[in-house]
Amino acid sequence: MSKQRIVVGLSGGVDSAVTAHLLKQQGHEVVGIFMKNWDDDDDSEYCSSNIDFVDAAAVADVLGIEIEHVNFAAEYRDRVFAEFLREYQAGRTPNPDILCNAEIKFKAFLDHAMRLGAEKIATGHYARVRLNEASGQHELLKGLDPAKDQSYFLHRLNQAQLSKTLFPVGELHKTEVRRIADDIGLPNAKKKDSTGICFIGERPFRDFLNRYISKEPGAIKNPKGHTIGEHVGLSFYTLGQRQGLGIGGIKAKGAQRGGGDHNPWFVASKDLDNNTLWVVQGHDHPWLLSDSLSALNASWVAGTPPAPQSVGAKTRYRQADAPCTFHADGPATFALQFPQAQWAVTPGQSAVLYHGEVCLGGGVIEQASALTR
């Protein structure tokens, strides 16, 4: 690759730091940009933005590159956070990191980088981009480290975005990335990976949601229709959830008295019309299993839906690809049929499709059919 001007999203973490180093090592002109996407609570103990910028600036200093601090908080609030709240209020469980990638990191940030005269942008994501010579199209591939692959979160990227994007650490395993950072003396070589949604950070999720969504308590019911507790508001729960239900000590009718061994309760469905949270006992209860789903708001890496075929699908991050048959109902809607039932398929989350290591795209889960109800 000839020398190019490449703008790297420096987050303060080790992955983006090594990304910048690798590109500089290849002879490119590298400029760092730190994106600030959230400014509601800069003084909060949970907001790490200021610390992260200090870390990013220290990395830029060691690498000998310029760094610019850019505030995308207004774009983030309009394009990502507003949608996040709408989905939660509708009883669904959205994945804002997917929207953040499509709308901020590979749109607002990409546009800003192009205005700075960049030919490409790069981020520290564990994924790969490949130009398919036969089709002339760019393909999104899984990262080589299966434990860190982030293609699930990037499935909404299109041809224009991929053609301008590099993912250098997608070719490496995380252990190798940390070794490189250590070898070149990066100050954040041992920094812990960030977890949680980008604007929430490490704070308790329910506390955060409380500030924006009002509580509407209602009944928690078991499959027999018996009320066994009270929920604080349907928005605060997701399918498959077992922590924080407040019903841990309740046993199923007929369970042996005094026996400490009883199955945990899981959220199985949310009835918005009646403000009821339905729960079941046991991880493999039929209400938690689905053999089909429908999805909408689809986005395809190639620009058009794939032909009906057998594919692998993830209905949540860190899940192994589940074999299924795919059928497009239109350019933006599709259905999946699974020979083996899937656990806690959650409306609002994304169903992402793969053909081997190639990510085809995906959509937002609208509904899933439980095996029995």
**Residue-level pLDDT at 47:** 57
Residue type, 107: K
- Calpha distance 103→99 (Å, rounded): 6
CA nearest to 171, candidates 107, 128, 218, 234: 128
Sheet of 265-271: strand order equals 227-231, 218-221, 276-281, 265-271
**Residue-level pLDDT at 251:** 61
**Residue-level pLDDT at 199:** 62
* Concatenated DSSP letters of 334-357: EEEEEEEEEE---BTBEEEEEETT
Write down the pTM of the prediction: 0.92
* CATH domain 287-370 topology: Elongation Factor Tu (Ef-tu); domain 3 (2.40.30)
Q: Is 26 exposed, middle or buried (0-12, 13-18, 19+ CB in 10 A)?
A: middle
- Calpha distance 107→77 (Å, rounded): 14
- Calpha distance 229→221 (Å, rounded): 7
pLDDT, one tens digit for every residue, the chain (373 residues): 689 999 999 999 999 999 999 999 999 999 999 999 887 765 556 557 788 899 999 999 999 999 999 999 999 999 999 999 999 988 899 998 999 999 999 999 999 999 999 999 999 999 999 999 999 999 999 999 999 999 999 999 999 999 999 999 999 999 999 999 999 999 888 888 876 666 666 667 778 888 888 889 999 999 999 999 999 999 999 999 998 898 876 665 544 444 444 789 999 999 999 999 999 999 999 999 999 999 999 999 999 999 888 999 999 998 999 999 999 998 899 999 999 999 999 999 999 999 999 999 999 999 998 876 6
Going from N- to C-terminal start, the domains of the chain cover 5-205, 214-283, 287-370
**Residue-level pLDDT at 179:** 96
**Domain over 214-283 is classified CATH 3.40.50.300:** no
| Half-sphere exposure of residue 168: CA atoms within 13 angstroms, side-chain side | 26
47, 198, 324, 359: which one is catalytic? 198
The tokens describing 57, both together, are 């600036």
What distance lies between CA 108 and its chain's CA centroid? 18
47, 100, 324, 359: which one is catalytic? 100
CA nearest to 24, candidates 45, 40, 8: 8
Spatial contact of 288 and 298, defined as CB atoms under 8 Å apart: no
Residue type, 336: L
Q: Please indicate whether the domains covering 214-283 and 287-370 agree at the CATH topology level.
A: no
- Calpha distance 299→309 (Å, rounded): 17
Establish whether 47 is a catalytic residue. Answer: no
CATH of 5-205, one of 3.40.50.1370, 3.40.50.620, 3.40.50.720, 3.40.50.880: 3.40.50.620
Residues 6+ apart with CB under 8 A from 251: 262
The tokens describing 369, both together, are 């059919």
Sheet of 5-9: strand order equals 66-71, 29-36, 5-9, 120-122, 165-166
Q: How far is CA 218 from CA 85, 89, 201, 250, 373, in A?
A: 20, 15, 29, 18, 21
- Calpha distance 233→216 (Å, rounded): 4
Give me the phi and psi of 78, to 5 degrees please.
Answer: -75, -45
**Residue-level pLDDT at 259:** 44
- The SS3 call for residue 59 is helix
**Residue-level pLDDT at 198:** 63
Establish whether 198 is a catalytic residue. Answer: yes
- Calpha distance 253→27 (Å, rounded): 69
